[in-house]
């Protein structure tokens, strides 16, 4: 079959599949909560497959993997991923797996003299993983998830899970906090049965789990593995303004950068606490707005909202009590009443 016909059919399939996913998700949501008159974007496309990934899925070259000293770990990762996710969800994975290089840097000067706390790094530019500590298969699983959710476009823009960066401009980095948290969440979810994990991203994992509860597990996993941050934004924009979402993402990046004893002073601690509280308030507001749109009874809505808020209250590190969460909701109710009154005039 000519290549042009194959390409056209593939584009048609992606369009149909995208429409199906959007329909199935949007069908579950009844928009009876108003932010403003024209807030909702009726043309949000949920899954964005870039042209770099619109190719036929490749098979896995296990012969090449068997040449690597970490072959058992890499092979098991491949088996678990392909058993749990469909081929379209794994486009990034299939693009990267056969050219992946895994290097063992445990004898590097940084490691020998304990100059780095880094356990491992995935380098998008050359599709390689470097491990800096001994006996850290759990770290390799984490980095393999980065590999399976990353691609570089023709303009050197790097899309990795829910993060964005540019090879030529580090100042544009965005989304690392949510991305690292969700990467570790998936690592524990799918490989916690074979490895004992000690995470440096406990706070980020917690926040990512709350976002997943709002977005829904299957949807968020697919968005992550297709490096579809815009798709995630499209869903969250049903319940929050874009500026609110971007501030939340940047706040989580701030926590990732400064939630370290070596970087904390009195000024940073004060700012960090304010940022953490802002993150918690965003979660409470966003979940409340989502539940308010659901086509269920008021009693069910109250139970869902209260359950979510109690989970927030359960974690003292989120700096938001159940009473504080309820006050946020009271303000949302007052605000929504005013907005509905204005547009019903």
Q: Is residue 288 part of a domain?
A: yes
Question: Are 238 and 181 in the same domain?
Answer: no
DSSP sequence for 239-299 = TS-HHHHHHHHHHHHHHHHH-SGGG--HHHHHHHHHHHHHHHHHHHHHHHHHHHHSSS-HH
Question: Are 264 and 336 in the same domain?
Answer: yes
Question: Are 41 and 71 in the same domain?
Answer: no
Mind listing the pLDDT tens digit for each residue in 44-93?
Answer: 333 455 555 555 557 999 999 999 999 999 999 999 999 999 999 999 99
Q: What is the pLDDT of residue 154?
A: 86
Higher pLDDT, 57 or 278: 278
How many Å apart are CA 242 and CA 269, to the nearest integer? Answer: 27
CA-nearest of 151, 116, 147 to 132 is 116
Question: Are 189 and 317 in the same domain?
Answer: no
Question: Are 64 and 36 in the same domain?
Answer: no
Q: Is residue 134 part of a domain?
A: yes
Q: Is residue 177 part of a domain?
A: yes
Question: Are 197 and 233 in the same domain?
Answer: no
Q: Is residue 162 part of a domain?
A: yes
Question: Are 235 and 325 in the same domain?
Answer: yes
* 312 neighbors 283 (Cβ within 8 angstroms): yes
Higher pLDDT, 21 or 106: 106
Q: 313 pLDDT exceeds 50?
A: yes
How many Å apart are CA 17 and CA 5, to the nearest integer? Answer: 18
Q: Is residue 285 part of a domain?
A: yes
Q: What percentage of residues in the chain have a pLDDT greater than 90?
A: 61
Q: Tell me the average pLDDT across 36-42.
A: 33
| Domain limits for position 246 | 31-48+228-345
* 281 neighbors 287 (Cβ within 8 angstroms): no
Choosing from 194, 215, 236, the residue where a domain stops is 215
Q: Is residue 5 part of a domain?
A: no
Question: Are 196 and 83 in the same domain?
Answer: yes
Average model confidence (pLDDT) across the chain:
82
Q: What is the pLDDT of residue 45?
A: 39
The torsion of the CA quartet 204, 210, 211, 216, rounded to 10 degrees, works out to 130
Question: Are 195 and 232 in the same domain?
Answer: no
Choosing from 166, 189, 215, the residue where a domain stops is 215
Confidence of residue 261 (pLDDT cuts 50, 70, 90): low
pTM: 0.80
Q: Tell me the average pLDDT across 122-147.
A: 90
The widest CA-to-CA distance across the chain, in whole angstroms, is 72
Choosing from 215, 244, 279, the residue where a domain stops is 215
Confidence of residue 148 (pLDDT cuts 50, 70, 90): very high
DSSP sequence for 1-33 = --HHHHHHHHHHHHHHHHHHHHHHHHTT-----
Q: Tell me the average pLDDT across 294-312.
A: 97
Q: Is residue 20 part of a domain?
A: no
Confidence of residue 336 (pLDDT cuts 50, 70, 90): confident
Confidence of residue 194 (pLDDT cuts 50, 70, 90): confident
Question: Are 189 and 312 in the same domain?
Answer: no
Mind listing the pLDDT tens digit for each residue in 150-188?
Answer: 999 988 899 999 999 987 777 678 999 999 999 999 999
Question: Are 65 and 180 in the same domain?
Answer: yes
Q: What is the pLDDT of residue 28?
A: 37
Weakest-pLDDT range from 28-32, 140-144, 294-298, 323-327:
28-32
For the chain, the domain total comes to 2
Q: Is residue 135 part of a domain?
A: yes
Q: 142 pLDDT exceeds 90?
A: yes
Question: Are 158 and 300 in the same domain?
Answer: no
């Amino acid at each position: 079959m000519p290549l042009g016909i194959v390409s056209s059919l593939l584009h048609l399939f992606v369009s149909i599949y995208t429409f199906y996913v959007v329909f199935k998700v949007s069908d579950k949501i009844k928009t009876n909560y108003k932010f403003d008159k024209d807030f909702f974007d009726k043309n949000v496309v949920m899954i964005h497959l870039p042209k770099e990934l619109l190719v036929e899925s490749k098979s896995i070259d296990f012969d090449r993997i068997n040449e690597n000293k970490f072959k058992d770990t890499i092979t098991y990762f491949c088996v678990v991923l392909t058993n749990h996710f469909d081929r379209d969800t794994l486009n990034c994975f299939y693009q990267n797996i056969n050219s992946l290089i895994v290097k063992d840097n445990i004898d590097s000067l940084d490691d020998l003299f304990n100059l780095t706390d880094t356990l491992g790094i995935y380098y998008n530019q050359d599709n390689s993983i470097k491990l800096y500590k001994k006996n850290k298969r759990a770290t390799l699983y984490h980095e393999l998830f980065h590999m399976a959710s990353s691609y570089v476009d023709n303009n050197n823009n790097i899309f990795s899970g829910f993060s964005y960066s540019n090879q030529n401009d580090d100042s544009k980095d965005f989304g690392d906090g949510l991305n690292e948290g969700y990467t570790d969440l998936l690592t524990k979810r799918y490989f916690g049965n074979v490895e004992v994990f000690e995470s440096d991203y406990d706070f980020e994992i917690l926040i990512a789990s709350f976002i997943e509860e709002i977005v829904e597990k299957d949807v968020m996993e697919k968005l992550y593995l297709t490096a579809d941050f815009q798709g995630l934004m499209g869903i969250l924009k049903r319940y929050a303004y874009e500026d609110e979402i971007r501030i939340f993402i940047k706040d989580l990046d701030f926590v990732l950068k400064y939630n370290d004893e070596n970087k904390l002073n009195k000024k940073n601690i004060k700012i960090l606490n304010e940022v953490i509280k802002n993150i918690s308030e965003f979660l409470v507001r966003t979940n409340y707005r989502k539940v308010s749109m659901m086509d269920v009874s008021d009693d069910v809505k109250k139970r869902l909202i209260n359950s979510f808020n109690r989970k927030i209250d359960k974690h003292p590190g989120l700096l938001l009590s159940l009473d504080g969460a309820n006050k946020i909701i009271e303000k949302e109710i007052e605000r929504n009443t005013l907005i509905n009154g204005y547009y019903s005039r």
